Amino acid sequence: AGFTKESAIEAKDLVKPAPLNDSTTHAEVHNVYGLMMAKASYEGMLRQRPGERSFILTRSGFAGVQRYSSVWMGDNQSLWDHLEMSLPMLCNMGLSGVAFVGCDVGGFAGNATAELFARWMQQAILYPLMRGHSAMTTARHEPWVFGEQVENICREYINLRYQLLPYIYTLFWQAATTGAPILRPLVYEYPNDSTTYTLSDQVLLGSSIMAAPILRPGIEYRAVYLPEGTWYDWWSGELYQGPTHILAHAPLEKMPLYVRGGGIIPMGPIVQSVDQRPLDTLTLRIWPGTGEFTLYEDDGNSFDYRTGAWATTTYRVRPEGEQFIVEIEARSGQFSPPSREVIVELVGVGEQRFTDDGTPQNLVFG
């Protein structure tokens, strides 16, 4: 309700029992307000821009709000505790069916330190909704106000976020079609591993990328749990065999990041916005092991995907003796991505011979 503290009624909500015309109490329908507001906004945008997808952002909602809107976690603070809290909060929302979620990077209320802002920006590349936002009464929170080191860190991680968009966009498709969360607690992928049951400071982006962010000031080392299977350090390519605990070195410019063995991560070029389309180069970054990934694509703007204008391409990798087999299935769907260069980058593979059905080809090795 639109009451202020200076009004005769100081309460900022409806005074009980606040019955509706049919005698229903407001308390019975209060939570539906956020849902209906999001729905009304969505339908209004459809009338204004028929055929174009809209972006709606809401703080409140109800079951089903994911049909209309993204959600952010409300007015957080520039505190290390709030940085740490964001991971389980966002994961819980994803497990509840609301996948398109995020929180204010750097904190909304209060003044972030340079270290807190850098660590938050690193973590935020994992959020389905990555958005910086702060109150007008706080110090400025643009990356460049924290000094050259933090600005460079923010640039590097924002660039990585843009490069990961083909992978992240596919995770959105998975969420829309299967309900699978985009940001996942480890227990989601490893339900039989009791170590993951109370692990809330590590997360998975999809099933292949795992992050162990730094959540406290002055920390350059942290324990990381690697579940069963092979894992590779994103930055160094170092191989680990799980299940195991390791001690990760994480200076300010580094967030511990790992990829499951057999991971196939489609990546685009560094761009300044998603409007820089088409993304004319697709890089398949592949780690040794057995794995599969289906890339989803559409025009990114219209509703034509609902009538078949989408494309999926499945990529598979497996070891076979001393060989490393990469299979690319024929594309499905009626959408035709623009003609582009596809780079296959094999991480940690030293042998530089490649054949395409027996024909020698060039490959990029990481």
Q: How far is CA 238 from the centre of its chain?
A: 24
Model pLDDT, residue 103 = 95
* pLDDT (tens digit per residue) in 224-277: 999 999 999 999 999 999 999 999 999 999 999 999 999 999 999 999 888 876
Percent of the residues in the chain that have a pLDDT greater than 90, as a whole number: 73
Mean pLDDT of the chain: 91
How much is the pTM? 0.91
Q: Could you tell me which of 107, 109, 112, 120 has the C-alpha nearest to residue 153?
A: 120
Q: Could you tell me which of 198, 190, 257 has the C-alpha nearest to residue 222?
A: 257
Q: How far apart are CA 343 and CA 334, in angstroms?
A: 23
- Kindly tell me the burial class for residue 83, based on how many C-beta atoms sit within 10 Å of its own C-beta (0-12, 13-18, 19 or more): buried
Confidence label for 184 from pLDDT (cuts 50, 70 and 90): very high
Model pLDDT, residue 23 = 83
- Checking if the pLDDT of 317 tops 90, the result is yes
Buried b (16+ CB within 10 A) or exposed e, 139-160: eebebeebeeebbebbeebbeb
What's at 29, amino acid-wise?
Answer: V
DSSP-assigned beta bridge partners for residue 138:
none
* pLDDT (tens digit per residue) in 21-68: 888 888 888 889 889 999 999 999 999 999 999 999 999 889 999 999
Cα dihedral 335/44/64/58 (nearest 10): 100
- Verify cis geometry, omega within 30 degrees of 0, for the bond prior to 243: yes
Q: How far apart are CA 216 and CA 222, in angstroms?
A: 10
3-state secondary structure of 187: helix
Task: Write down all domains in the chain, each with its CATH number in brackets.
Answer: 26-167 (3.20.20.80), 183-260 (2.60.40.1180), 264-365 (2.60.40.1180)
